[in-house]
Amino acid sequence: MPSVIPADSVGLVTPQTIHFDTPLALACGRVLEHYDLVIETYGTLNADASNAVLICHALSGHHHAAGYHSMDDRKPGWWDSAIGPGKAIDTNRFYVVALNNLGGCHGSTGPTSINPDTHKPYGPDFPIVTVKDWVNSQVRLADHLGIQRWAAIVGGSLGGMQALQWSIDYPERVAHSLVIASAPKLSAQNIAFNEVARQAISKDPQFHQGHYYEQEVVPKTGLALARMVGHITYLSDDGMREKFGREMRAGKLSFDFNPQFEVESYLQYQGERFSTAFDANTYLLMTKALDYFDPAADYDDDLVKALSHASCRFLVVAFTTDWRFSPERSREIVDALVAAGKQVSYAEVESAHGHDAFLIPSPRYMELFGAYMERVARDVGIGKAQQEQKETANAR
């Protein structure tokens, strides 16, 4: 609810839907004959289309990464802290594109969309999509927008996996890849947590094998549980201690099964809110995309060999208390990049916020993020000079 749009905001933004008619062959063997992608863009594409930055979203993200949709919005886009005039991804110089991925539930073609073959929502019949599929769809998007080469592709968590996959599959179309709080593939523990989430959703009696739309119900309980489990893995033990400690809601124990501790009601609230805002089939698809991500698999399980195809420069960022994708996992990427002879900068940022840290604008994180993007700007020939020129022009 900004009474005034902040000066460092991209301001009011409007999503656009782009329709694609060229069939897209998916990793699972199925083909999407046509599909929509919903995007938002911030800033202005320059004449030689050299200043474009692609933002890839994480599990529950979407195209609304920055700014406001209306003056009534309670909150700006999900990465507003990093995208805007003068921010790390400076929209005074970069043209920023954020999209909702295929399979999403925010306007791009996904399980909630109408299947042209049946005239009913796809539901569970929507094909399983992978990070590679997303990258292929994003290539079409780039073509549509007239972007031959991204100045940078940026993503956190599952978004970072897309940035990594781009660098391997389309090396000539990426100048810089920013892989934040990510991993080269999921661990058994990661997969296990995803499986608990999937079980919670699919065993909810309101799930109806994914055909809940027809029943006009939502598997709220399952989705809430999935989110609660997820949420615990996004926060660090330390961060939770700082945020909640063992504070009790009523000051003292009441010896019943109502929530006693702040952390319990917080989690319940988060689960409840998510369960009415997100689509269960999409959640299943996103967790599968995570599980199946394994860029080394196409290269004899050799990550070095996979990354040897890349020609961009890399920034890899990890956060000290992130235990979902720990710094160790980021270092696996860095080690493979170094072994493949690639240029990589690595930063391990001190933070108490666990995996969520990638969304939180801590000073050191934003400084290094901004400094790297400054380098990207220089690299693609859109240095300070151009920006100052533009600012002078704006001031007239």
235 binds a copy of itself per the rule CB under 8 A: yes
Taking the C-alpha atoms of residue 162 and residue 216, their distance in angstroms, rounded to an integer, is 34
Active site amino acids: 157, 322, 355
Contact assessment for residue 36 and residue 109, using Cβ atoms and an 8 Å cutoff: yes
Beta strand 31-32 with 24-25 is antiparallel
Beta strand 152-156 with 176-180 is parallel
Q: 317 pairs with which residues across the strands?
A: 180, 347
Q: How many angstroms separate the first and last alpha carbons of the chain?
A: 30
Residues 205-224 binding a copy of itself (CB under 8 A) are: 205, 221, 224
Backbone angles phi, psi at 155, to 5 degrees: -160, 150
163 binds a copy of itself per the rule CB under 8 A: no
268 binds a copy of itself per the rule CB under 8 A: yes
Cβ distance to a copy of itself smaller for residue 255 or 393:
255
Cβ distance to a copy of itself smaller for residue 88 or 223:
223
Q: Which of 202, 311, 320, 362 is in the footprint of a copy of itself by CB under 8 A?
A: 202
Q: Which of 96, 225, 333, 380 is in the footprint of a copy of itself by CB under 8 A?
A: 225
Taking the C-alpha atoms of residue 277 and residue 298, their distance in angstroms, rounded to an integer, is 36
172 binds a copy of itself per the rule CB under 8 A: no
334 binds a copy of itself per the rule CB under 8 A: no
Q: Which of 5, 128, 360, 368 is in the footprint of a copy of itself by CB under 8 A?
A: 128
Question: What are 317's two structure tokens?
Answer: 């960022």
Cβ distance to a copy of itself smaller for residue 212 or 292:
292
- How many residues bind a copy of itself, per CB under 8 A? 54
DSSP state letters, 327-382: HHHHHHHHHHHHHTT--EEEEEE--SSGGGGGGS--HHHHHHHHHHHHHHHHHTT-
Contact assessment for residue 147 and residue 52, using Cβ atoms and an 8 Å cutoff: yes
227 belongs to an annotated ligand binding site: yes
Cβ distance to a copy of itself smaller for residue 44 or 269:
269
Q: Which of 8, 36, 125, 294 is in the footprint of a copy of itself by CB under 8 A?
A: 294
Contact assessment for residue 121 and residue 114, using Cβ atoms and an 8 Å cutoff: yes
Q: Which of 2, 6, 11, 124 is in the footprint of a copy of itself by CB under 8 A?
A: 124
Cβ distance to a copy of itself smaller for residue 328 or 388:
328
Cβ distance to a copy of itself smaller for residue 216 or 256:
256
> Which range touches a copy of itself (CB under 8 A), out of 58-66, 105-113, 291-299, 338-346?
291-299
Taking the C-alpha atoms of residue 314 and residue 195, their distance in angstroms, rounded to an integer, is 31
Residues 27-46 binding a copy of itself (CB under 8 A) are: 27-29
> What count of other Cβ atoms lies within 10 Å of the Cβ of residue 272?
16
Taking the C-alpha atoms of residue 218 and residue 181, their distance in angstroms, rounded to an integer, is 31
Contact assessment for residue 38 and residue 142, using Cβ atoms and an 8 Å cutoff: no
Instruction: Enumerate helices (H) and strands (E) in the chain, giving the number of each.
Output: 12, 14
Cβ distance to a copy of itself smaller for residue 298 or 379:
298
* Residue 285: CB minimum distance to a copy of itself, A: 9
Q: Which of 92, 187, 345, 387 is in the footprint of a copy of itself by CB under 8 A?
A: 187
Q: Which of 139, 229, 338, 371 is in the footprint of a copy of itself by CB under 8 A?
A: 229
Backbone angles phi, psi at 288, to 5 degrees: -70, -40
* Residue 30: CB minimum distance to a copy of itself, A: 8
Residues 246-265 binding a copy of itself (CB under 8 A) are: 246, 253, 255-257, 259-261, 263-264
**Phi/psi class of residue 326: alpha, beta or left (left: φ > 0; alpha: ψ in -120 to 50)?**
beta
Instruction: List interacting residues with a copy of itself (CB under 8 A).
Output: 27-29, 124, 127-128, 185-189, 191-193, 195-196, 198-200, 202-203, 205, 221, 224-225, 228-229, 232, 235, 237, 240-241, 243-246, 253, 255-257, 259-261, 263-264, 267-268, 271, 284, 288, 291-292, 294, 323
Q: Which residues are annotated as a binding site for substrate?
A: 227, 356
